[in-house]
A and B are shown apart, each in its own frame.
Chain A
């Protein structure tokens, strides 16, 4: 039993599928193409067969009645009564999806004594807010939160649920999707919706430089997480008309085997998520001391320094500076990448930036596929000269023009 049917009668054993499979999941066994347990059902082999002899095994599972599920539900994350700004970004995306299928945007807010937060959520255009205002939800206890969320899903039957890919969201979302035995796609970089309400989820996949389009075709609700700073926040509406609906679950159902002991705010670290200018450095940096030059440039233009994973693994930069899927997502006005090749995991964390400048010595580097301004050159040559020019505060072209006039 494998995930694909192969037309053995017409198979010429050209082995193109074997070459195409990134997971070594296909081999010739006893004179036949065979797939093994390394298969990730990515479908690359289907496209690789020149004769079109590989087809996905027909999905015979039953689908739920999709018309029984309506509206987009956004999770409003709050810590200590403060709503996380990713909430408004999810609402922006949620509004867009809801409009496309002519349905409503709803928000679920879990916590205690946070009625003062509902105005702001309504102002961002929610059609309804479901509020669970209960003492047991004051702090984030994942099982209590999952129980309240489950209650809301059962009562409102949303077709799509959006949750922020934050520490809270990444802990909570899989509990809910598992409880409803439905699909969850983490860290989507693009979301769209089809007329039949199927959510089209796109994210980097399989640890490589490749994107996957993922669908949840048979079950509802469909769940996706998106990271902070990947989407535009919802626009504010002039006359909020949304409705507040109070729900609750019996206190005993919120009891768990976990106990909250304390919460402390972390000392403020330079947050690159909030920076409006970023200089990002990668493996093109040869030595740790070279970061001083980068720091000088960053200070001159008022930018924060972000980095790729290799520099963090070397211990040259801190985890809080990491940009990419395993670090932070950023959406600054300006990002200048220096010596970064542009692996998809990095790009996923910065491609929504407004102005992207990239400097790399390799003209084939994939960072140039996302850069608005690509510069093929040596950062060790460019950066010191740029620093000089900024210090001089002089536009060289103006100077040349002046000189030309003088001549």
Chain B
């Protein structure tokens, strides 16, 4: 079974500091694999253990995001690819998913693929849109929010998806794409032995020139229908009341306000 896993490098913490101008300070913040992607990779590794085959990890980003592929190797991925080119910079959902789809097609040309697995969302974007958009670009079925793999064989897979209020069970025949939630499994820890074993393993870089589409208007900012017009600090609430004091004083204030609101 040929399985492709999309991974993303994200800042380790969400509590990014902001300077007095409302700008993000990212210095000193470590980058890690998006935690949701570890569940995607674990799902792939378990399917491979059952059916054999290859697990390939692919990421898109600046050259330093290669590290996320090293992390994937440390969990057990067989092959790794990074899509990196200045032409990919500034990509929105459409351009990101298009670029990843192009990369997946290049990899797929070698051995074909049965299943693409993504984490349900990234912790620095929270949009959960890239996975389904890849499936649309590749014209394959997808199931988002998969919380359990029920059954799989060489032709099809049966999965449980978490729809919030309901749980649905669906099946589809390959090739297809799933995005997985944290309920799907417990990812293994990266292995030190694998780290040593894969130290010299190649990570193939795919640039714009390696892709099938040679129209650069489909990539990066040029290929993005949405554009950021302005970034700004969040709105402040102007009509606020501030109190400071000890527990006695503040609990009094709170008590009286709650009483005022008829909560108590």
Does residue A79 face the partner (Cβ distance < 8 Å to B)? Answer: yes
B86 and A259 form a contact (CB under 8 A): no
* Chain B residue at minimal CB-CB distance from A263: B168
* Chain B residue at minimal CB-CB distance from A82: B165
Query: Among A3, A187, A213, A390, which residue has its beta carbon within 8 angstroms of that of B90?
Result: A3
Q: Given A22-B24, A205-B228, A261-B168, 19 other A-B contacts at CB below 8 A?
A: A22-B25, A79-B166, A80-B166, A142-B132, A170-B144, A171-B145, A182-B225, A207-B14, A207-B124, A208-B24, A210-B232, A256-B172, A261-B171, A262-B168, A266-B164, A326-B126, A343-B14, A369-B235, A373-B241
Q: Which of A241-285 contact B (CB under 8 A)?
A: 256-266, 277
* Chain A residue at minimal CB-CB distance from B245: A377
Query: Among B88, B93, B173, which residue has its beta carbon within 8 angstroms of that of A184?
Result: B93
Q: Which residues of A contact B22 (CB under 8 A)?
A: 209-210
B136 and A175 form a contact (CB under 8 A): yes
User: What are 25 A-to-B residue pairs whose CB atoms are below 8 Å?
Assistant: A25-B62, A37-B86, A41-B224, A140-B163, A166-B164, A178-B136, A179-B136, A181-B225, A186-B127, A207-B14, A207-B16, A208-B16, A210-B233, A213-B229, A214-B227, A216-B225, A257-B172, A263-B167, A277-B263, A309-B14, A326-B126, A333-B261, A334-B263, A375-B245, A381-B247
Does residue B129 face the partner (Cβ distance < 8 Å to A)? Answer: yes
Q: Which residues of B contact A373 (CB under 8 A)?
A: 240-241, 243, 253, 257
Partner-binding segment picked from A67-75, A103-111, A130-138, A355-363: A355-363
> Which residues of B are interface residues toward A (Cβ below 8 A)?
10-11, 14-16, 18, 22-26, 61-64, 84-90, 92-94, 97, 121, 123-133, 135-137, 141-145, 158, 161-173, 176, 182, 216-217, 220-222, 224-237, 239-248, 250-259, 261, 263-264
A59-B242 Cα distance, complex, nearest whole Å: 46
Closest CB-CB distance, A183 to chain B, in whole Å?
Answer: 4
A368 and B61 form a contact (CB under 8 A): no
Q: Which of A206-243 contact B (CB under 8 A)?
A: 206-219
- Known A-B contacts A210-B22, A210-B24, A372-B239; A259 and B170 likewise in contact (beta carbons under 8 Å): yes
Query: Among A79, A211, A277, A359, which residue has its beta carbon within 8 angstroms of that of B231?
Result: A211
Query: Among A265, A357, A378, which residue has its beta carbon within 8 angstroms of that of B247?
Result: A378
A389 and B240 form a contact (CB under 8 A): no
Query: Among B14, B123, B127, B228, which residue has its beta carbon within 8 angstroms of that of A187?
Result: B127
Most buried by B among A140, A141, A170, A260: A170
Does residue A317 face the partner (Cβ distance < 8 Å to B)? Answer: no
* Chain A residue at minimal CB-CB distance from B165: A266
A167-B264 Cα distance, complex, nearest whole Å: 36
Closest CB-CB distance, A278 to chain B, in whole Å?
Answer: 12
Q: Which of A110-142 contact B (CB under 8 A)?
A: 139-142
Interface of B is mostly: mixed
Q: Which residues of B contact A208 (CB under 8 A)?
A: 16, 18, 24, 26
A377-B227 Cα distance, complex, nearest whole Å: 42
Q: Which residues of A contact B257 (CB under 8 A)?
A: 357, 373
Query: Among B14, B86, B137, B158, which residue has its beta carbon within 8 angstroms of that of A36?
Result: B86
- Known A-B contacts A167-B162, A212-B231; A174 and B247 likewise in contact (beta carbons under 8 Å): no
A1-B161 Cα distance, complex, nearest whole Å: 42
Query: Among A209, A257, A301, which residue has its beta carbon within 8 angstroms of that of B258?
Result: A301
* Chain A residue at minimal CB-CB distance from B10: A207
A211-B164 Cα distance, complex, nearest whole Å: 27
Query: Among B10, B136, B141, which residue has its beta carbon within 8 angstroms of that of A258?
Result: B141
Q: Which residues of B contact A2 (CB under 8 A)?
A: 86, 89
A75-B172 Cα distance, complex, nearest whole Å: 25
B158 and A377 form a contact (CB under 8 A): no
Closest CB-CB distance, B99 to chain A, in whole Å?
Answer: 11
* Chain A residue at minimal CB-CB distance from B131: A174
Q: Which residues of A contact B84 (CB under 8 A)?
A: 37
B247 and A186 form a contact (CB under 8 A): no
Does residue A371 face the partner (Cβ distance < 8 Å to B)? Answer: yes
Most buried by B among A167, A187, A217: A167
The interface bits of chain A over 18-42 (1 if a CB of B lies within 8 angstroms of the residue's CB, else 0) are: 0010111100000000011111111
Closest CB-CB distance, B256 to chain A, in whole Å?
Answer: 6
Closest CB-CB distance, B156 to chain A, in whole Å?
Answer: 9
Q: Which residues of A contact B176 (CB under 8 A)?
A: 257-258
* Chain B residue at minimal CB-CB distance from A356: B237
* Chain A residue at minimal CB-CB distance from B171: A259
Closest CB-CB distance, B149 to chain A, in whole Å?
Answer: 14
Closest CB-CB distance, A8 to chain B, in whole Å?
Answer: 17
A184 and B16 form a contact (CB under 8 A): no
A42-B22 Cα distance, complex, nearest whole Å: 13
Q: Which residues of A contact B171 (CB under 8 A)?
A: 258-259, 261
A210 and B143 form a contact (CB under 8 A): no
B130 and A174 form a contact (CB under 8 A): yes
A3-B130 Cα distance, complex, nearest whole Å: 22
Q: Which residues of A contact B261 (CB under 8 A)?
A: 333-334, 355
- Known A-B contacts A37-B85, A143-B141, A260-B170; A44 and B23 likewise in contact (beta carbons under 8 Å): yes
A2-B5 Cα distance, complex, nearest whole Å: 29
A263-B163 Cα distance, complex, nearest whole Å: 10
A281-B88 Cα distance, complex, nearest whole Å: 40
Does residue A43 face the partner (Cβ distance < 8 Å to B)? Answer: yes
B252 and A389 form a contact (CB under 8 A): yes
B24 and A167 form a contact (CB under 8 A): no
Closest CB-CB distance, B228 to chain A, in whole Å?
Answer: 5
* Chain A residue at minimal CB-CB distance from B252: A396
B87 and A1 form a contact (CB under 8 A): yes
Top 8 closest pairs, chain A to chain B, by CB: A381-B247, A207-B124, A41-B90, A22-B24, A183-B225, A385-B251, A186-B127, A183-B226
